[in-house]
Structure formats: C-alpha cells, structure tokens
Amino acid sequence: ELKVEQNPLFLSMQEGKNYTIYCNYSTTSDRLYWYRQDPGKSLESLFVLLSNGAVKQEGRLMASLDTKARLSTLHITAAVHDLSATYFCAVSYTGNQFYFGTGTSLTVIP
Amino acid sequence: EAQVTQNPRYLITVTGKKLTVTCSQNMNHEYMSWYRQDPGLGLRQIYYSMNVEVTDKGDVPEGYKVSRKEKRNFPLILESPSPNQTSLYFCASNGLGGGKSGTDTQYFGPGTRLTVL
C-alpha cells in the first residue's frame, strides 16, 4: 500500500528557532512537492523536487530530496510568525497520480 | 491572471440529491484532478484527467463521477450524495508531463465546502 507520512503532525516553535519537517514515502518516486495551506485557504506550491539530492531554498524554507531513502525534508530557519500554516508533501506517479501526506500544522509563537 | 475556479464555494444538500461542482482553468493545462480534504487524512485524489475524454480513478473514486469534454473544464458529479461525502473539495490543474516528467506543480482552486445532510 502506498503511503506518505509526515512528521511531526503538529509543531509549535518559537520565533527565531530552526526545525525540520520530515516526509517519508513508501514507493519510489522521482518527484516530490511541498505545499503550504493557510487556514481556510487553498494550497500554494512551495517546491518541486525532481531528482535525488535536489535542494531548493526560498527565504527561510529549504527542501531536500533523498530518493534512495524515500525521504524529503523541509527545513525552517529562524522561524517567523508568517510561516504559521499547514505544510503538505506529495509524491506523484505515472498518469498524474498524486499522494499527499497528512500535513504538518506549524505554529510559530513569539 | 492564471487561476483555477470552482463553483459553488459552499453547498449544503440532502442525501440522494444529485449535484455537480464545476471546475475551470485558464492555463491550458492538460492535467486536472479532484481531491477531497478531511481532517487528519490530508488530501486524497478522487479522479484525474490527462486530457479531453481521458479520465482515471484516483485513490477514493467511489460515489463520484467526472467528465472532461473540454480542456478547460472538469466537473465533479455526485449522483447520489451521502453524509460521508461531506468534505472540502479541491480541483487542481497542472501542465504537460504531470506526474511523470516536466516541472509543473499543481495549481489549486479555492475549494468547495460540501455538507450532505
């Protein structure tokens, strides 16, 4: 059974601190996505990771992909309140099939 | 402006009353998908389409139908809604290559909150 697991499910962190969200998936894929969802809103694309060892950075967020370990990480550097949201990873397979993790709800507190 | 639109945004209905949720994109994308989002379950793909008249089941297709008669539109049909279909529904589109090649990520609509009584 194909599974995408995120850890942690809930994360409360202080402003200025660093933390990492993990995304494990059970079946080999060469394509991994990270999305952000604000409360009551739709999903917004953050990163697309296309190959083993891929690393992408945007502001305080950095995503990486290890296809051999079937693991992606989303690293948050010096968190600020604006980063409070729910973050989803997703993997895709032939034919436009997408599987999402259950999401990580991040709250950044002063 | 590039966008995916859905209608209605909110819908309350009763068990067994057929309904359609429309989805339209203006980016000339080949691929479109429908998802439902439930607390603690993330997003689950219901159906997807790789082009006009080409559709396939996702992870949770039971109780749903779709059609793709035009490239820009991908309506979701609930022939006989039941309370377990109460959920938040998202339509999404992405460009050629979709999940296999290319770099396009999915663009999501604003969501439709459906309640079935």
Which member of A31, A93, A102 has the closest CB to residue B42?
A: A102
Taking alpha carbons only, the member of A49, A2, A68, A7 closest to residue B45 is A2
Phi, psi for residue A7 in degrees, rounded to 5: -140, 140
Q: With beta carbons under 8 A apart, name residues in chain B contacting A90.
A: 43
Tens of pLDDT, residues B73-115: 999 999 999 999 999 999 999 886 444 444 478 999 999 999 9
Map tokens 């436009």 to a residue.
Answer: A96
CA diameter of chain A: 44
User: Residue B103 and residue A48: Cβ atoms within 8 Å?
Assistant: yes
Map tokens 């996505």 to a residue.
Answer: A33
Confidence at residue B74, expressed as pLDDT on a 0 to 100 scale = 98
User: Residue B58 and residue A97: Cβ atoms within 8 Å?
Assistant: yes
Q: Give dist(CA A26, CA B42) in Å, integer.
A: 16
Per-10-residue mean pLDDT of chain A, 110 residues long, equals 92 95 90 94 93 91 95 97 96 87 95
Q: With beta carbons under 8 A apart, name residues in chain B contacting A33.
A: 105-106
Confidence at residue B102, expressed as pLDDT on a 0 to 100 scale = 43
Confidence at residue A11, expressed as pLDDT on a 0 to 100 scale = 94
* DSSP-assigned beta bridge partners for residue A22: A7, A73
Confidence at residue B100, expressed as pLDDT on a 0 to 100 scale = 46
Map tokens 């109460």 to a residue.
Answer: B86
Which member of A4, A96, A103 has the closest CB to residue B31?
A: A96
Mutate to test the interface with B, among A34, A96, A97 (most CBs of B within 10 A): A96
